[in-house]
Structure 1
Amino acid sequence: MTSVRSAHALLRLLAWMSPAFPVGAFSYSGGLETAVNDRRVSNAVELDGWIDLLLHRGTFWNDAVLLAQAWRCQTDDEALMHLAELARALAGSAERYRETVLLGDAFRDAAAAWPHDVFERLGRETPYPVAVGAIASAHDIALDDAIAAYLHAAVSQFVSAGIRLGVAGQKDGVAILARLEGAITDVAGRAAISSLDDLGSATILADTAAMRHEIQETRLFRS
């Protein structure tokens, strides 16, 4: 019975983090488009470094910490509400705010195909990592697995954006995913034992790129 439950949890996680899951993540670049436009990211090596920094010190790290906290408090209405408020406050620009709440709402709506009372505790405009963490916990998905899958999906989306922006090819993208496996595993492990005191970033160029994207004239992405 345990193995069947584990298989169901794995299949749900694979479905939720699949590029085909209807959250619209492909529409966003998290400021990468501006970094490419400014020539701060102009090749696969620089794309790799940009993503690696976000994993260890930027938005990906903060998302992982928020996801872990949501996973732990998914049965507590008030704690989830306050966590969602904090996650919204951490969005560094209007576009980043819209990105996280629209992705969160889309994830919540699509994941409701797997019924659970957790959806009654998640209001509208629940940021994406909070929604993923709470729903994953409700469906008995291990915390380490949920964080690792979330980070892998985020990295994959940035790689895909880099390919679409012309700074890397598909073989380069696969190589980046392979190289960052260790970083994803490390960050997921640290985030799984983190607390909200561990929130914080040191990626000023990435944060300001996300802000400046709002006034960029020619755009492929919504952020």
Structure 2
Amino acid sequence: MNAASLLHLLQFASPALPIGGYSYSQGLEAAIEAGSVHDAASAHAWIERCLDEVQARWDGPLLWRLMQAYAARDMAAVADWSACYLASRDTAELRAETVQMGYSLTRLLADLGVADAGPLGDDVPLPAAYACAVCALGIPHEEALLAQLFAWAENQVLVCVKSVPLGQVAGQRLLLALRPELERAAATARGLPDEALSNWAPGLSMLSMRHEVQHGRLYRS
């Protein structure tokens, strides 16, 4: 990867990007409330399982396909995979999360003069907006996929640091320990055929539904 692509990737995969990623936990706050995640070991187990069952088998593969579709300028495929991703958000919070962040990133790309996400309407999911940025900026797809998985894991770790709570060093130790799982998830996401895609995670869906009525929440999902 050349320096320009790397710098673009660092910017658009950063949690500091002003699209609101820090305000969502994707059901993790409900898992902490329920006691399923309560220390560093259970946090590692939670993130590893979500990486394997959700990120590697659905979110990652759809992002991979969206990047390929944008690169081929196949807007019909972009629209189809975006619709699939939106349909897979099986709670109100998870759908609102990807639409809000996708809208914010789309607006940011337009304001910066980087790209137009295309004719997807108002409900642009985050993976589609991110894939648009990746292709417009010439970022290699493999690195972009791994960076997005890392950004997801980093946000999950930060939720644990704040809410379990874990110490800052424990959080960094956890993030470092997740490297093999992140590499494995990226490899799975790149190679999974269409017929093997799956977002079957009923436990996560139930926790997300509980979070919608949870009192004293810090996060929006």
Shift of 1:214: 0.6
CA distance in 2, matches of 1:154, 1:21: 13
Shift of 1:121: 4.2
Closer/same/farther in 2, CA of residues 96 and 82 from structure 1, 3 Å limit: same
* Structure 1: segments with no counterpart, 5+ residues: none
CA distance in 2, matches of 1:195, 1:109: 32
Aligned 1:30-179 pairs, distance under 5 A: 30-59=26-55, 61-74=57-70, 75-179=73-177
Q: Percent identity?
A: 29
**Counterpart secondary structure, 1:205:** helix
**Counterpart secondary structure, 1:42:** coil
Deviations 1:12-38 (A, max 9, x none): 110011121101001000011111111
* TM-score when normalising by structure 2: 0.92
**Counterpart secondary structure, 2:117:** helix
Shift of 1:191: 1.3
Deviations 1:180-219 (A, max 9, x none): 1111112112212334333213433222111211111221
Q: Please, which of 188, 191, 197 is the counterpart of residue 189 of structure 2?
A: 191
* TM-score when normalising by structure 1: 0.91
* Structure 2: segments with no counterpart, 5+ residues: none
- 1:17 aligns to what? 13
TM superposition outliers: structure 1 runs of 4+ over 4 Å = none
**Counterpart secondary structure, 2:80:** helix
**Counterpart secondary structure, 1:29:** coil
Superposed CA RMSD in Å reads 1.8
Closer/same/farther in 2, CA of residues 131 and 139 from structure 1, 3 Å limit: same
Closer/same/farther in 2, CA of residues 136 and 155 from structure 1, 3 Å limit: same
Shift of 1:119: 2.7
**Counterpart amino acid of 2:105?**
F
Closer/same/farther in 2, CA of residues 103 and 201 from structure 1, 3 Å limit: same
CA distance in 2, matches of 1:72, 1:161: 31
